[in-house]
Structure 1
């Protein structure tokens, strides 16, 4: 495989691992491997192995090597010398090598992100590795989303643009003049999981349906609108009384809770909307956030663009690679 025309994209999170062989031209995915071997799980295996600290990176690269062999079998050729770009929690305290955060601001073209180059070795790992570190403000951090922001290819303009990445810990990053200048994290996804799976609300919600089914969208809209009118700590108790008084089914309540939390997260955008919002992430979450932004009237006040998690991750990885290894 020609290392000048292909690269390996590795998105290595806390609980998941994904590796893709990608054509640089057109970003076509030629082969893919994924597993639950996230950094948290590998960190536990590393502790159990009781190896010297200097062998930590090698231990993690052995996991990567296993998945590289799967890709080689899929494309029926050697991938030696093909560069690997790794983002996510691999550069954290539970990853292969802890790297310091890049302080805000950073260039949205990926030219000045904090990157560690790991040279290939003939004996153990025959691939150049670019390990991308995260980004920090004075009071907030992110790892992985900075690459996805780069992959959105923001226009360089004095107008304020917002990168919105929904997830367990949703990220809002403000972009201006080709620089990411401010960062806020919202624990929306984690709070939703805790409330719907471990709180008194467990008996009042039911997962499994889609937003567009039945009256789910109506109840999602109710949640978004209610989030703008009352304190969220009161609103979430209405999930219980909705079911108790038979106002909503458990499935409808599930979307009502989702609307409450997403609406609360986006509350500040209503008062001060950016010129553009780029919403990037997993399809289901992007659909929910897109609906919430429309319900809040933001689609009428600013341009909203949606992108897939795969698209922005691959774009971001290639941008970082091109800046580190110019064509």
Structure 2
């Protein structure tokens, strides 16, 4: 196998990559906002309840992206295997798969998967990866990132607390190379709701990477400290009075609210018995979490992966799971 196609299909985003199988080098990428939620909402009633038609509907979207990559790299990709992780295996995805229950091994050998053989209508064999559940929590996609991160990176020792920031941030505990516990924090979704749909929206104004501005940076840090020590429901209203009393500019207030929610999320780490903490995210969140961990006095035991490692972890995790699957079948 010279190449494989890596698809990371989340609730709000779609990513397809052409990857060299031997080195896990990403050759080409296609990204869009055609996430699983948007795609599911486009399903007609007669397709929704027809498993075969529903699967093909989703695969046609992938096929369009594959065709674009073929034109870019000038390589015919028929029969190249496709590995999919994320929300594609959920109740709103192409085919719902059962969750794997805790614990599970970080070498990828016991993750739930399903194989769909290549056909005339879709010429790639498809390995669909499911998610993981505890008694009170679920995740789809982060387990694949974790497998790629913990088993392929020399920085990660396989033990500790792994943090994957995002719309629904995940904190995953690994002991004896097994995932034993994890928590979901709705940090990104709460920020979106508060800053765009609540009474606070009039007092905040996003401005990209404005943490480079000293006032914005200090406001973010203040928010982090308040998130650690204050009641969130009360502290969130400060973003209202900050604006009313002209204590902060709208841009600074935006950063205060961001810091408040991230600080609320990260305060749980103080009670964790993990000797090492690993943070892996895209560039837009990496600096925020690194700064917040420094403010909370936790930076010494934290390793923050560089930009680009979030994508690498997905690809390496998918490749690891695919090799485990083909080895046992």
Say yes or no: does 1:54 pair with 2:70: no
Root-mean-square deviation (CA, aligned residues, Å) is: 2.1
> Tell me, what secondary structure is at the counterpart of 2:280?
strand
- How far does the alpha carbon of each residue in 1:200-239 deviate from its partner, in whole angstroms, 9 at most, with x for none? 1111111014212232111111111122222111111111
Asked if 2 retains the 8 angstrom alpha-carbon contact of 1:12 and 1:86, the reply is: yes
> Tell me, what secondary structure is at the counterpart of 1:215?
helix
Separation in 2 of the partners of 1:113 and 1:215? Answer: 46
- How far does the alpha carbon of each residue in 1:103-154 deviate from its partner, in whole angstroms, 9 at most, with x for none? 0111112111101111112x11111111000100001001111101111125
> How far 1:272 sits from its partner (Å)?
3.0
Say yes or no: does 1:17 pair with 2:18: no
Separation in 1 of the partners of 2:239 and 2:42? Answer: 41
> How far 1:17 sits from its partner (Å)?
1.3
Query: In structure 2, do the counterparts of structure 1 residues 147 and 243 end up closer, same or farther at CA, with 3 Å as the change threshold?
Result: same
Which residue is equivalent to 2:222?
A: 222
Which residue is equivalent to 1:35?
A: 32
- How far does the alpha carbon of each residue in 1:184-215 deviate from its partner, in whole angstroms, 9 at most, with x for none? 11111111111111111111111014212232
Which residue is equivalent to 2:203?
A: 204
Of 79, 82, 94, 2:80 maps to: 82
Separation in 2 of the partners of 1:33 and 1:130? Answer: 19
Query: In structure 2, do the counterparts of structure 1 residues 117 and 159 end up closer, same or farther at CA, with 3 Å as the change threshold?
Result: closer
Say yes or no: does 1:105 pair with 2:103: yes
Which residue is equivalent to 1:236?
A: 236
Query: In structure 2, do the counterparts of structure 1 residues 158 and 317 end up closer, same or farther at CA, with 3 Å as the change threshold?
Result: closer
Separation in 1 of the partners of 2:149 and 2:158? Answer: 16
> Tell me, what secondary structure is at the counterpart of 2:224?
helix
Which residue is equivalent to 1:68?
A: 66
> How far 1:176 sits from its partner (Å)?
0.6
Which residue is equivalent to 1:284?
A: 284
> Tell me, what secondary structure is at the counterpart of 2:214?
coil
The two structures have a TM-score, normalised by structure 1, of: 0.93
Separation in 2 of the partners of 1:303 and 1:198? Answer: 34
Query: In structure 2, do the counterparts of structure 1 residues 39 and 209 end up closer, same or farther at CA, with 3 Å as the change threshold?
Result: closer
> How far 1:26 sits from its partner (Å)?
2.9
Asked if 2 retains the 8 angstrom alpha-carbon contact of 1:164 and 1:171, the reply is: yes
Asked if 1 retains the 8 angstrom alpha-carbon contact of 2:290 and 2:304, the reply is: no
> How far 1:25 sits from its partner (Å)?
3.0
> How far 1:306 sits from its partner (Å)?
1.7
> Tell me, what secondary structure is at the counterpart of 1:94?
coil
Which residue is equivalent to 1:116?
A: 114
> How far 1:273 sits from its partner (Å)?
5.0
> How far 1:58 sits from its partner (Å)?
1.8
Unaligned runs of 5+ in 2: none
Separation in 2 of the partners of 1:158 and 1:250? Answer: 42
> Tell me, what secondary structure is at the counterpart of 1:111?
coil
> Tell me, what secondary structure is at the counterpart of 1:46?
coil
Asked if 2 retains the 8 angstrom alpha-carbon contact of 1:175 and 1:182, the reply is: yes
Asked if 1 retains the 8 angstrom alpha-carbon contact of 2:227 and 2:263, the reply is: yes
Separation in 2 of the partners of 1:136 and 1:145? Answer: 12
> Tell me, what secondary structure is at the counterpart of 1:90?
helix
> How far 1:46 sits from its partner (Å)?
2.3
Asked if 2 retains the 8 angstrom alpha-carbon contact of 1:273 and 1:298, the reply is: no
> How far 1:160 sits from its partner (Å)?
5.1
Asked if 1 retains the 8 angstrom alpha-carbon contact of 2:150 and 2:158, the reply is: no
Separation in 2 of the partners of 1:158 and 1:278? Answer: 10
The two structures have a TM-score, normalised by structure 2, of: 0.92
Separation in 2 of the partners of 1:271 and 1:153? Answer: 22
> Tell me, what secondary structure is at the counterpart of 2:43?
helix
- How far does the alpha carbon of each residue in 1:66-119 deviate from its partner, in whole angstroms, 9 at most, with x for none? 111111111112111211100011101111100000001111121111011111
Which residue is equivalent to 2:324?
A: 323
